[in-house]
């Protein structure tokens, strides 16, 4: 009995038989080929409903089928680097019935997640971690931990990060049985950057191909007899192996490839053979196409990396109409404006030119924009070197990725007092990407550094001012943070104003309670004020602008003129509110009876959902501010009666 299409879903008679990867063991190779076709169709259908990372998953459909058919998951651990490509894996591992809940509240994560399934042995959201994790699993096996093989699947874009080489070097030195599949699609999020990308390209574009006897060294011993006998397919499989694999072989790996990552007739016997015979680390170089099998993805500039909901036939995405410019776009325009006035301004991004808005900057100022690849540590120190050389670098990195360069921020930038400008996009909670991408910690980890200036834009007009302020600040490092998504719809200034460092502003005067906001919770604070005004309560609303240095005069005045002070921020505990509390404590303000509260993100990781729902979970929306104000007023009233 074959399946019938439901809600325009594709016919999937073989896939319907697969509930878990163990079901693949009963399928013939021909059926596995059909399964791959059906899995690709199911992935396209699911992502058309949910939106998400499409192209990466389509590029590894055959790899996913082959790995699950040959290895014995979850005993064997498949570790997907980043996790963008894991949707087909999720469909095959018991989650097909929930695949259309991807990235929605209460639904499946868009990445691998240990708490979601035993088939996700290691969670990810950032790149270049898979080989390190796989090596950890391999050594755990040797030391009596979980049995089974470890297989890391890593893209060529992720190979631009130093961590991948650290892991390769360590794995080759230890010599333990370990499999690394290099998924070489010449396409990460942005076009690949650097020498490694060029090296991998040469592996399968340079010729002539070597005679089979000339390459019958090293990993050829893994291949089954038909390949060793000199079949044409073996030559294709092994082309470039002698020269191309030198780097990996010198690191201690047996290198096999390049192999066609979409040809199961190559992948299946190869994986079966290395699984049966490998004794040490093996690297399999598979060449794939991101977005494979879906025309709109294959022809898109980003190969369908991240999409909204879309029409399967046309590929046209359904996007909500924008009522206000996005923060990222406003940042890009403001930076270009400053760059037009100062030829020493340059921009640096770590493989995210589109996401950070710097693609526009690069088009206008190609000699002044640098994409360093997935290498945040390098990006920060490179920026430090530029600053030390008299240039004005704007290092534009998402909050969640800036964490990866923290030692460099401390050691190479802050200690030396270098004027690197950090443009921190995706600050706060970011929605469907969930906790791995939350910009929750940058306030805390930057504001504790001596000499660092830390700003947060309350709206898009403030962001323009902060870009201008950063451009003018030459006495040390400075950072400004802004969220993902649309702005508040405020009027934009023609020219950014250079703000006085460490000075906030009163937005709406009131009495009784003061709300001091840092960042875009200002809009929720003003909304709360409207609700409270109907109840006869009119709190003062202030915009701090700076978490470092604090506006001491403003904070102490708010404390002196109000019975209660509430701070609010889109960051974890230990950030702006903690610095304010330290100031108040040092000044003895609490000794005089001020009621103080700090509203921050919860001390937990907030699961993926729509941003407004995530802030509801975090108790940081307008109704929560109203409740907090009423709470502190009740305490103040009670204290007054007791007095």
Active site residues: 290, 376, 404
Dihedral over Cα of 446, 452, 455, 461: its sign: negative
* Residues in contact with 378: Cβ distance below 8 Å, sequence separation at least 6, in sequence order: 162, 350, 372
Q: 3-state SS string over 547-616? A: EECCCHHHHHHHHHHCCEEEEEECCCCCCHHHHHHHHHHHCCHHHHCCEEEEECCCCCCCCCCCHHHHHH
Q: Dihedrals φ, ψ of 233, to 5°?
A: -60, -35
Does 365 appear as a known binding residue? no
Q: In what order do the strands lie in the sheet with 564-569?
A: 505-508, 540-543, 513-518, 564-569, 595-599
Does 577 appear as a known binding residue? no
3-state secondary structure of 91: helix
Q: How far apart are CA 464 and CA 443, in angstroms?
A: 20
Does 158 appear as a known binding residue? yes
Q: Which of 603, 609, 478 is nearest to 50 (CA)?
A: 609
Does 561 appear as a known binding residue? no
Burial class (CB in 10 A: 0-12, 13-18, 19+), 18: buried
Q: Which of 450, 455, 446 is nearest to 473 (CA)?
A: 455
Does 185 appear as a known binding residue? yes
3-state secondary structure of 352: coil
Does 126 appear as a known binding residue? yes
- The two structure tokens encoding residue 271: 């994986």
Q: How far apart are CA 564 and CA 526, in angstroms?
A: 17
Q: How far apart are CA 583 and CA 594, in angstroms?
A: 13
Q: Which of 366, 365, 356 is nearest to 336 (CA)?
A: 365
* Residues that constitute the known binding site: 84, 125-127, 156-158, 185, 294, 376
* Residues that constitute the known binding site for thiamine diphosphate: 84, 125-127, 157-158, 185, 294, 376
* Residues that constitute the known binding site for Mg(2+): 156, 185
């Amino acid at each position: 009995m074959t399946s019938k299409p439901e809600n325009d879903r594709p016919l999937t008679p073989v896939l319907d038989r697969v509930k878990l990867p163990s079901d693949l063991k009963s399928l013939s190779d021909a059926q596995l080929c059909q399964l791959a076709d059906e899995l690709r169709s199911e992935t396209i259908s699911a992502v058309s409903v949910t939106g998400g990372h499409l192209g990466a998953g389509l590029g590894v459909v055959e790899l996913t089928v082959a790995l699950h058919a040959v290895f014995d998951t979850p005993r064997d651990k498949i570790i997907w680097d980043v996790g963008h490509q894991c949707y087909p894996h999720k469909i095959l591992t018991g989650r097909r019935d929930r695949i259309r809940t991807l990235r929605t509240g209460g639904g499946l994560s868009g990445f691998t997640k240990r708490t979601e399934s035993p088939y996700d042995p290691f969670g990810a959201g950032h790149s270049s971690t898979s080989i390190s994790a796989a090596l950890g699993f391999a050594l755990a096996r040797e030391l009596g931990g979980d049995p089974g093989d470890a297989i890391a699947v890593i893209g060529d874009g992720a190979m631009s990060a130093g961590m991948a080489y650290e892991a390769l070097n360590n794995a080759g030195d230890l010599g333990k049985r370990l499999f690394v599949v290099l998924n070489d699609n010449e396409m990460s999020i942005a076009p690949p950057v650097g020498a490694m990308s060029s090296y991998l390209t040469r592996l399968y574009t340079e010729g002539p191909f070597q005679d089979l006897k000339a390459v019958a060294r090293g990993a050829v011993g893994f291949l089954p007899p038909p390949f060793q006998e000199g079949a044409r397919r073996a030559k294709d499989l092994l082309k470039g192996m002698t020269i191309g694999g030198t780097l990996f072989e010198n690191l201690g790996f047996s290198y096999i490839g390049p192999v066609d990552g979409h040809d199961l007739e190559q992948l299946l016997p190869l994986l079966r053979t290395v699984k049966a015979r490998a004794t040490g680390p093996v690297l399999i170089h598979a060449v794939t196409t991101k977005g494979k099998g879906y025309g709109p993805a294959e022809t898109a500039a980003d190969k369908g990396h991240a999409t909204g909901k879309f029409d399967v036939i046309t590929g046209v995405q359904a996007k909500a109409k924008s009522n206000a410019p996005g923060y990222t776009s406003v940042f890009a325009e403001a930076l270009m404006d400053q760059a037009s006035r100062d030829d020493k301004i340059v921009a640096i991004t770590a493989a995210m030119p589109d996401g950070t808005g710097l693609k526009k900057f690069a088009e206008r100022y190609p000699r002044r924009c640098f994409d360093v690849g997935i290498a945040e540590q390098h990006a920060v120190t490179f920026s430090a070197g530029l600053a030390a050389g008299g240039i004005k670098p704007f290092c534009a990195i998402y909050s969640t990725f800036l964490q990866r360069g923290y030692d460099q921020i401390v050691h190479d930038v802050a200690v030396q007092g270098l004027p690197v400008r950090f443009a921190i996009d995706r600050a706060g909670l970011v929605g469907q990407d969930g906790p791995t991408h939350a910009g929750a910690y940058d306030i805390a980890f930057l504001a504790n550094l001596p000499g660092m200036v830390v700003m947060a834009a309350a709206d898009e007009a403030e962001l323009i001012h902060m870009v201008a302020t950063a451009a003018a600040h030459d006495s040390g490092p400075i950072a400004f943070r802004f969220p993902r998504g649309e702005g508040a719809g405020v009027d934009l200034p023609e020219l950014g104003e250079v703000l006085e460092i460490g000075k906030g502003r009163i937005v709406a005067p009131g009495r009784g309670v003061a709300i001091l906001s840092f960042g875009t919770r200002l809009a929720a604070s003003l909304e709360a004020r409207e609700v409270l005004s109907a109840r006869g309560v009119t709190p003062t609303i202030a915009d701090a602008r700076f978490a470092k240095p604090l506006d001491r005069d403003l904070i102490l005045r708010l404390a002196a003129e109000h019975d209660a002070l509430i701070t609010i921020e889109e960051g974890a505990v230990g950030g702006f509110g903690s610095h304010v509390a330290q100031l108040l404590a040092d000044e003895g303000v609490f000794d005089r009876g001020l009621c103080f509260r700090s509203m921050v993100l919860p001390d937990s990781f907030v699961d993926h959902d729509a941003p407004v729902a995530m802030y509801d979970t975090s108790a940081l929306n307008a109704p929560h501010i109203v409740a907090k104000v009423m709470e502190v007023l009740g305490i103040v009233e009670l204290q007054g009666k007791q007095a």
